[in-house]
């Protein structure tokens, strides 16, 4: 992350100090410049070079919906994805079975990301609200319809008995367990929902019994992602949204932006009052950096293409003048 910070300092240095004949070329100041190309007044070519500072490139749109706690059939429409047309995402079933849930919906969205410009990820992760208490799970402790059974649990699952019992059946449930800072963390491997029952004394009141996850959308041109029917997938009034540029990966980011990026698995409240480390110091941050970097590269490619087009235009003009001279 330190190296990334230094490289971006150099990127900004290049943008702010590159000059030719007293004119800054890459800072954004080189705008609508006119080149006289003919032997008569107003026979000109106009040229503009976009700004290349880290604060001016990489604008990427992130939107993350609220946590879904009910099953059903999910689908929605991406409105005006290209400024004109709509795209209907084929609906999928939201359940705890393999091949369903937000993971399946994200896959359906990503099939057409080259067309719509919108990509999706699903985060289905259940985290206990407090540390695991000493006690037992219920005789009918069940995950996604698979009976785990009674497990004697130590505080914080010190001996790993609870995690071992859950992971022994992860291939059937699709859910893998771990303990972080004494809290139980359940991850859905393929994006199916996580449903718990028969929690017993060690988990009762300490963990959500139903969680179908949160859906995150990203668009690399920085424009708003307009959704119709998005309330079925938690996208609507509860949507966390932000447009982030390359400069944002240099330091800490606000909780609201981290929420929009999908850093928190359970709810917006998880991040209230907290700053999040930006950049590649976390898995979620690294993935966000890759999205933003892709956008920044595309921005610079466009600027280079515009310069190249103007160069070709001027070259053609010079050739034409040479013919006229002959």
Which pLDDT score is estimated for 230? 77
Q: What is the pTM of this model?
A: 0.86
Q: Looking at the structure, do residues 223 and 290 belong to the same domain, yes or no?
A: yes
* Structural domain span for residue 72: 60-124+212-294
In a domain, 30, yes or no: yes
Which pLDDT score is estimated for 75? 84
Residue 152 has a CB neighbour count (10 Å cut-off) of 13
Q: Is 196 exposed, middle or buried (0-12, 13-18, 19+ CB in 10 A)?
A: buried
Q: Looking at the structure, do residues 185 and 287 belong to the same domain, yes or no?
A: no
Bridge partners (DSSP) listed for residue 87: 78
CATH code, 49: 1.20.1330.10
Q: Looking at the structure, do residues 105 and 243 belong to the same domain, yes or no?
A: yes
Tell me how many domains the chain contains: 3
Q: Looking at the structure, do residues 265 and 169 belong to the same domain, yes or no?
A: no
**Tens-digit pLDDT profile for the chain (326 aa)?**
888 889 999 999 999 999 999 999 999 999 999 988 888 888 888 999 999 999 999 999 999 988 899 888 888 899 999 889 999 999 999 999 999 999 999 999 999 999 999 999 999 999 998 899 999 999 999 999 999 999 999 999 999 999 999 999 999 999 999 999 999 999 999 999 999 999 999 898 899 999 999 999 999 888 899 988 877 777 877 788 999 999 887 777 778 888 888 888 776 555 555 556 667 888 888 888 899 999 999 999 999 999 999 999 999 988 988 888 89
Q: Looking at the structure, do residues 87 and 235 belong to the same domain, yes or no?
A: yes
In a domain, 195, yes or no: no
Q: Looking at the structure, do residues 78 and 135 belong to the same domain, yes or no?
A: no
Q: What is the dihedral of CA 146, 152, 157, 158, to 10 degrees?
A: -140
Give residues with Cβ within 8 angstroms of 282, minimum separation 6.
263, 276
The H-assigned helical ranges of the chain are 2-17, 102-110, 113-116, 161-167, 170-173, 255-260, 283-325
Tell me 33's DSSP state.
E
Q: Looking at the structure, do residues 149 and 252 belong to the same domain, yes or no?
A: no
In a domain, 201, yes or no: no
Q: Looking at the structure, do residues 66 and 181 belong to the same domain, yes or no?
A: no
In a domain, 244, yes or no: yes
Which pLDDT score is estimated for 146? 96
């Amino acid at each position: 992350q330190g190296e990334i910070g230094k490289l971006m300092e150099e990127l900004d240095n290049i943008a702010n100090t590159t000059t030719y004949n007293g004119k800054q070329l890459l800072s954004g100041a080189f705008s609508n410049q006119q080149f006289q190309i003919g032997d008569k007044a107003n026979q000109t070519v106009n040229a503009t070079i976009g700004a290349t500072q880290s604060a001016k490139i990489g604008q990427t749109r992130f939107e993350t919906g609220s946590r879904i706690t009910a099953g059903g059939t999910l689908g929605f429409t991406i409105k005006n994805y290209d400024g004109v047309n709509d795209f209907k995402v084929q609906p999928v079933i939201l359940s705890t079975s393999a091949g369903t849930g937000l993971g399946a919906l994200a896959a359906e969205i990503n099939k057409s990301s080259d067309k719509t410009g919108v990509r999706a990820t699903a985060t289905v992760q259940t985290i206990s609200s407090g540390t695991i208490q000493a006690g037992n799970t219920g005789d009918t402790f069940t995950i996604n319809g698979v009976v785990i059974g009674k497990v004697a649990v130590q505080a914080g699952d010190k001996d790993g008995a609870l995690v071992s019992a859950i992971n022994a059946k992860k291939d059937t449930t699709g859910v893998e367990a771990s303990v972080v800072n004494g809290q139980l963390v359940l991850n859905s491997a393929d994006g199916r929902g996580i449903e718990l029952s028969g929690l017993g004394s060690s988990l009762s009141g300490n963990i959500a019994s139903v969680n179908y996850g949160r859906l995150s959308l990203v668009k690399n041109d920085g424009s708003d992602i307009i959704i119709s029917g998005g309330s079925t997938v938690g996208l609507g009034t509860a949507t966390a949204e932000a447009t982030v540029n390359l400069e944002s990966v240099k330091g800490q980011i606000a909780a609201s932006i981290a929420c929009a990026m999908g850093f928190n698995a359970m709810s917006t409240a998880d991040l209230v009052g907290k700053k999040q480390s930006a950049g590649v110091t976390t898995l979620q941050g690294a993935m966000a950096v890759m999205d933003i970097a892709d956008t920044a590269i595309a921005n610079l490619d466009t600027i280079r293409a515009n310069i190249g087009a103007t160069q070709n235009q001027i070259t053609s003009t010079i050739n034409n003048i040479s013919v006229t001279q002959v």
